[in-house]
């Protein structure tokens, strides 16, 4: 008998250290900020004031009658028959009911939305310090009991109000927050953790790894060093331009393809000059080496001129094959005019003596630019000043800049400006509503308005609900 056990799926909580404690750096990289002590005191003060206002009916109509009873001005029977007894009873019941409703609403909204009446006015929220989500009704109720219980001791509320100053994590968490795993954050200056869309984008942005740069592919062109490679003005006997064959042992240095004329049996004629072939791109041809002429030690008597011999008939070339230059009907090559100074030699035409072929200028490397790839698929090349926003507007300082519109309600009208800076992009937040954050190698930096920050290649720029990756392009 086999027993199958199904492993329970445990949700992985992001942002915890190895010992299971919340990591403040992770929360900061998402854009969450500690609630300032001033606004925390403001929120608590608003809640206390509302609570005291609900106690006014009880304090005005019920407490004076109870004090007369305690002081012994009349007995309990006279207390029940007192003309103000009914009013005191109604005031006490109203105060109790309103206070109970107020307390229940405070706990429910605090547990499910992380907000109370005072927190909503002060612009702060409460979250679970580990999951960065809603605290839950249980933790909110326990926190309220701790705060209310501290009022039993005279100095209890004062101690709890100053306890955030004693927090070792520097996150302004008081004793009541530490006992219930609650953290109070600022939603005016930082990210609102209850905005599910922006929170989801922030988590994905922090967890995303930089995109690897695409490797450059090898060139498909023929290498210059290869023998018999591509030469723009090379010519073979078949008349095909752009192809040249390597020089063999039997080549006499003549024109490519050779001549079809039969050499005479007379004295050796000077070798024809090889046609000037433009060098391959990037290769400088060697300078021509002059052929030394040995001096004759003694004058020799003039020899009689040889008798002209009749050249042997030469068979016509095959169809479709031509020599390195134009030929006559008998197959002998026609003389070609010398190349003009300053002009490149034509294919099959010998270069002018003393005029070496001019080397071709090497191709200049094409500079690589920087671009932004937005998560919506848009690509923003950054070759100069670029204004990005919902409807960017040019000013006197940005005349000539290029504008790029990102249709999104979370993006301000003129959200940020970009300009190339070395191996990256200089980003400047132009006083946007939802701010701009630069994330690189796990570190997050929220930009201050009008403060330029360089985002290197591979960094992520988050503006509003949009995010863009800095790449080479």
Q: Are 107 and 148 in contact (CB under 8 A)?
A: no
CA distances from 98 to 51, 84, 91, 137, 417 (A): 9, 21, 11, 20, 53
Note the pTM of the prediction, 2 decimals.
0.45
Q: Are 358 and 292 in contact (CB under 8 A)?
A: no
CA distances from 7 to 2, 10, 20, 372 (A): 16, 9, 21, 43
How do the domains of the chain map onto residue ranges?
Answer: 24-194, 370-472
Taking the C-alpha atoms of residue 316 and residue 72, their distance in angstroms, rounded to an integer, is: 148
φ/ψ bin of 146: left (φ > 0), alpha (ψ from -120 to 50), beta (otherwise):
alpha
User: Smallest Cα–Cα separation from 446: which of 25, 29, 15, 14?
Assistant: 29
User: Smallest Cα–Cα separation from 78: which of 63, 64, 68?
Assistant: 68
pLDDT in tens for each of the 473 residues of the chain?
Answer: 455 554 455 567 787 877 778 888 888 888 899 888 889 889 989 999 999 999 999 999 999 989 888 888 888 888 888 888 899 999 999 999 999 999 999 999 999 999 999 999 999 999 998 888 999 999 999 988 888 877 777 666 677 777 777 777 777 788 888 888 898 999 988 889 998 888 888 888 877 655 555 555 555 554 554 444 445 544 444 554 444 455 444 444 444 444 444 444 444 445 554 444 444 444 455 555 555 555 554 555 555 555 555 555 555 554 444 444 555 555 555 555 554 555 554 444 444 444 554 555 554 444 458 899 998 888 999 989 999 999 998 888 888 899 999 988 889 999 999 999 888 999 999 999 899 999 998 888 999 989 999 999 999 999 988 999 999 87
- Token readout for 246 is 């390597």
- Token readout for 150 is 């501290």
User: Smallest Cα–Cα separation from 283: which of 217, 227, 337, 211?
Assistant: 227
CA 86-89-93 angle, 5° bins? 140
**Which architecture does CATH list for 370-472?**
Sandwich (2.60)
């Amino acid at each position: 008998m086999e027993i199958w056990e199904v492993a329970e799926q445990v949700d992985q909580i992001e942002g915890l250290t190895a010992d299971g404690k919340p990591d403040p750096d992770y929360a900061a990289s998402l854009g969450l900020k500690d609630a300032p002590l001033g606004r925390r005191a403001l929120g608590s003060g608003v809640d206390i004031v509302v609570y005291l206002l609900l106690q006014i009916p009880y304090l005005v109509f019920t407490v004076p009658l109870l004090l007369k009873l305690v002081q012994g001005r009349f007995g309990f029977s006279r207390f029940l028959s007192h003309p103000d007894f009914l009013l005191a009873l109604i005031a006490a019941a109203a105060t109790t009911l309103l206070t109970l409703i107020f307390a229940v609403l405070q706990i429910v909204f605090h547990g499910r939305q992380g907000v109370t009446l005072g927190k909503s006015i002060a612009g702060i929220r409460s979250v679970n310090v580990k999951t960065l989500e809603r605290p839950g009704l249980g933790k909110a109720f326990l926190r309220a009991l701790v705060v209310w219980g501290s009022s039993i001791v005279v100095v209890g509320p004062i101690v709890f109000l100053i306890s955030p100053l004693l927090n070792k994590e520097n996150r302004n968490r008081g004793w009541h927050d530490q006992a219930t795993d609650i953290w109070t954050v600022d939603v005016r200056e930082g990210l609102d953790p209850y905005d599910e869309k922006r929170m989801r984008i922030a988590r994905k942005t922090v967890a995303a790894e930089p995109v690897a740069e695409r490797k450059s592919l090898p060139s498909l062109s023929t290498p210059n060093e290869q023998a018999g490679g591509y030469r723009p003005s090379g010519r073979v006997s078949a008349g095909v331009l752009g192809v040249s064959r390597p020089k063999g042992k039997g080549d006499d240095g003549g024109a490519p393809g050779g001549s079809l004329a039969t050499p005479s049996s007379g004295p050796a004629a000077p070798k024809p000059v090889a046609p000037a072939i433009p060098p391959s791109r990037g290769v400088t041809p060697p300078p021509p080496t002059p052929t030394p002429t040995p001096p004759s030690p003694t004058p020799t008597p003039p020899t009689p001129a040889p008798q002209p011999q009749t050249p042997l008939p030469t068979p016509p070339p095959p169809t479709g094959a031509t020599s390195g230059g134009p030929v006559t009907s008998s197959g002998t090559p026609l003389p070609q005019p010398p190349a003009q100074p300053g002009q490149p030699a034509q294919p099959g035409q010998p270069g002018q003596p003393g005029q070496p072929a001019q080397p071709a200028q090497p191709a200049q490397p094409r500079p690589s630019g920087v671009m932004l790839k937005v998560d919506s698929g848009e690509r923003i090349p950054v070759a100069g000043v670029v204004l990005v926003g919902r409807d960017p507007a040019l000013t006197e300082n940005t005349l000539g800049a290029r504008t790029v519109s990102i249709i999104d309600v979370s993006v301000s009208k003129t959200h940020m400006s970009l300009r190339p800076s070395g191996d990256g992009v200089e980003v400047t937040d132009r006083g946007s509503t939802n701010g701009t954050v630069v994330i690189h190698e796990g570190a997050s930096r929220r930009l201050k308005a009008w403060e330029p920050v360089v985002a290197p290649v591979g960094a992520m720029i988050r503006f509003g609900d949009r995010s863009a990756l800095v790449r080479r392009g």
